[in-house]
């Protein structure tokens, strides 16, 4: 039965073990704004009410994009690297937690020893010279040692490791979102290249008709040979542009293959249309970004990690307390080893205190505090950058929407100019240069219109990414959910 003094000692140690030096974490304030400036007075042409928390790209209603995005979380190597880093960080939490418990071991040994003994009497009464005695001894001893976490140093290390694992989890979410955004962006570029190729094919066909008109006019004697040569030059230039457009498309397809974890030779995407509708997600309020972006969540968890490390450094001012125990059996012979007369045990306690560190301890605390301050600054900067990215994409979407409307009118006027110039050339009232100039302006305006459409879709993808892609801080793994590979110690 445990004596009263022993119970007092054990209770005191347990009480002290609940102490934790260092500051408890409280999330610092972050920059805030009442609303996004670029959203005022602007209504998106094709707003969407909500983003799917998982498949945010579904707002584009493209089955090919859906299939590509589905492969990112499985095959993208950057994402898999981040996932492995998270598993490693989670295992480190298990390592830190294990330090809270005693180390239990088992020792066993056998010794066979021979000693010499001199001056022994014989049965005849004569004293002999010497003889040897051989003995065997055995021992089996369970051991236990425990570094008592009196000042909470180990708990702060566990707290830091847990926050570090959450940082890694947020980094994983950010890596996945970044890869998904890259796939969507490259896919828009690829469809933009398809649209450019389609435009150039139509342009080649139009220029071929113009060459036929010029040839007929020349055959009829109403046009010069120069008109035919000019039409041929224009036609071959358009054909060259059509061939060159394949370079960009091939590169976008190769990039999509790598992002989805495939060699470029394994992925072929048939030509398809460029989306005409540009969905714009609701921007809500700026403060919501703190809960919707994984990079901000990662920065916030870094602050918690660095805050815990302050306590680890402050614990160096206090003594380290360790307990040890041994209980077992030692003796001979082996057959009767485990009996009360052979029982051995020991208990021990030790405390170590550094008396003079020559400034190492205060310097360690100062460094930890400085690292925490740096983490706070990085967190606030990440919030400001998030605000900037949303404002940039909002302004880009608004301005490009206005440009698209103007550019569409420019294309209409350019198409009318080509029809009029062609008819007047047939009638012989204008030179062929008027047709060339009108067609060149038409092609340039149509290419600009396609470029604006691609930019608008890219801005839409960028805005969804800037808003977190449907991710939420509630998706971040909680401290109690982080486990290592050992099922005995969750």
pLDDT 10s digits, 234-247: 999 999 999 999 99
What pTM does this model have? Answer: 0.84
Residue-number span of the structural domain to which 339 is assigned: 104-148+320-352
Indicate whether 44 and 138 sit together in one domain.
Answer: no
What's the whole-number mean pLDDT along residues 427-439?
A: 93
Residue 86 is predicted with a pLDDT of 92
Indicate whether 327 and 476 sit together in one domain.
Answer: no
Farthest CA pair distance, the chain: 155
Residue 12 is predicted with a pLDDT of 46
**Residue 22 region by backbone torsions, left for phi larger than 0, else alpha for psi between -120 and 50, else beta:** left
pLDDT of 52 > 70? The answer is no
Which of 26-35, 372-381, 406-415, 481-490 shows the lowest mean pLDDT across its residues?
A: 481-490
Q: How many domains does the chain have?
A: 2
Indicate whether 325 and 452 sit together in one domain.
Answer: no
Q: Are strands 343-352 and 320-331 parallel, antiparallel or unpaired?
A: antiparallel
* 73 domain residue, yes or no: yes
CATH code (residue 339)? 2.20.200
pLDDT of 309 > 60? The answer is yes
Indicate whether 84 and 113 sit together in one domain.
Answer: no
pLDDT tens-digit map of 136-157? 776 667 877 778 778 888 888 8
Residue 335 is predicted with a pLDDT of 57
Indicate whether 113 and 85 sit together in one domain.
Answer: no
Indicate whether 429 and 343 sit together in one domain.
Answer: no
Indicate whether 58 and 181 sit together in one domain.
Answer: yes
The residue written with tokens 């209770």 in the block is 11
Of 352, 374, 409, the residue that ends a domain is: 352
Indicate whether 333 and 412 sit together in one domain.
Answer: no
Indicate whether 200 and 110 sit together in one domain.
Answer: no
Residue 329 is predicted with a pLDDT of 65
pLDDT tens-digit map of 337-362? 566 656 777 777 777 887 887 888 88
Rounded CA separation 407/384 (Å): 34
CATH code (residue 468)? 1.20.1600.10
Indicate whether 303 and 167 sit together in one domain.
Answer: yes
DSSP string, 393-441: HHHHHHHHHHHHHHHHHHHHHHHHHHHHHHHHHHHTSS-HHHHHHHHHH
Distances in whole angstroms, Cα of residue 86 to Cα of each of 52, 290, 312, 470: 25, 22, 23, 21
Structure confidence at residue 9 as a pLDDT band (50, 70, 90)? very low
Structure confidence at residue 65 as a pLDDT band (50, 70, 90)? very high
Give me the chain's average pLDDT, please: 84
* 429 domain residue, yes or no: yes
Residue 15 is predicted with a pLDDT of 47
Distances in whole angstroms, Cα of residue 75 to Cα of each of 25, 57, 168, 350, 469: 37, 18, 19, 53, 20
Burial class (CB in 10 A: 0-12, 13-18, 19+), 488: exposed
Residue 98 is predicted with a pLDDT of 84
pLDDT tens-digit map of 246-288? 999 999 999 999 999 999 999 999 999 999 888 887 777 788 8
**Which among 426, 468, 486 is positioned nearest to 174, based on CA atoms?**
468
């Amino acid at each position: 039965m445990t004596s009263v003094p022993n119970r007092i000692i054990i209770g005191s140690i347990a009480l002290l073990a609940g102490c934790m030096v260092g500051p408890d974490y409280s999330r610092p304030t972050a920059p805030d704004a009442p609303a996004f400036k670029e959203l005022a007075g602007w209504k998106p042409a094709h707003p969407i009410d909500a983003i799917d928390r998982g498949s945010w790209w579904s707002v584009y209603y493209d089955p090919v994009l859906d299939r590509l995005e589905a492969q990112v979380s499985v095959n993208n190597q950057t994402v898999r690297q981040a996932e492995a880093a998270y598993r490693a960080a989670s295992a480190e939490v298990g390592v830190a937690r294990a330090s809270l418990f005693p180390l239990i071991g088992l020792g066993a040994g056998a010794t066979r020893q021979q000693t010499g003994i001199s001056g022994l009497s014989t049965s005849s009464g004569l004293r002999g010279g010497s003889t040897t005695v051989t003995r065997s001894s055995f021992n089996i001893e369970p051991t236990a040692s425990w570094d008592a976490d009196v000042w909470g140093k180990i708990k702060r290390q566990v707290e830091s490791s847990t926050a570090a694992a959450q940082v890694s989890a947020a980094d994983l979410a950010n890596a996945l979102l970044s890869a998904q955004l890259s796939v969507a962006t490259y896919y828009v570029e690829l469809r933009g290249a398809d649209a450019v190729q389609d435009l150039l094919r139509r342009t080649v066909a139009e220029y071929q008709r113009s060459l036929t008109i010029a040839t007929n006019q020349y055959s009829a004697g109403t046009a010069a040979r120069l008109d035919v040569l000019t039409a041929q030059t224009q036609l071959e230039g358009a054909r060259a542009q059509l061939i060159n457009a394949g370079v960009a498309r091939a590169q976008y397809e190769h990039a999509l293959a790598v992002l989805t974890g495939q060699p470029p030779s394994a992925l072929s995407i048939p030509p398809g249309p460029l989306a005409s509708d540009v969905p714009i997600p609701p921007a809500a309020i700026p403060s919501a970004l703190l809960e919707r972006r994984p990079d901000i969540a990662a920065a916030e968890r870094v602050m918690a990690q660095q805050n815990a490390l302050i306590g680890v450094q402050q614990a160096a001012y206090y003594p380290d307390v360790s307990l040890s125990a041994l209980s077992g059996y030692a003796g001979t012979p082996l057959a009767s080893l485990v009996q009360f007369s052979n029982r051995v045990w020991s208990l021990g306690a030790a405390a170590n205190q550094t008396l003079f560190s020559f400034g190492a301890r205060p310097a360690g605390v100062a460094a930890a505090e400085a690292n925490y301050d740096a983490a706070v600054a990085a967190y606030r900067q990440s919030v400001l950058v998030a605000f900037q990215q949303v404002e940039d994409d909002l302004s880009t979407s608004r301005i490009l929407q206005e440009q698209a409307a103007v550019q569409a009118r420019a294309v209409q006027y350019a198409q009318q100019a080509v029809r009029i110039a062609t008819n007047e050339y047939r009638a012989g009232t204008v030179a062929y240069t008027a047709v060339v100039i009108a067609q060149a302006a038409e092609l340039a305006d149509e290419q600009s219109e396609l470029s604006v459409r691609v930019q608008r879709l890219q801005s839409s993808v960028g805005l969804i990414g800037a808003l977190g892609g449907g991710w939420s801080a509630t998706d971040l793994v909680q401290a109690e959910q982080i486990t290592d590979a050992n099922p005995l110690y969750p």
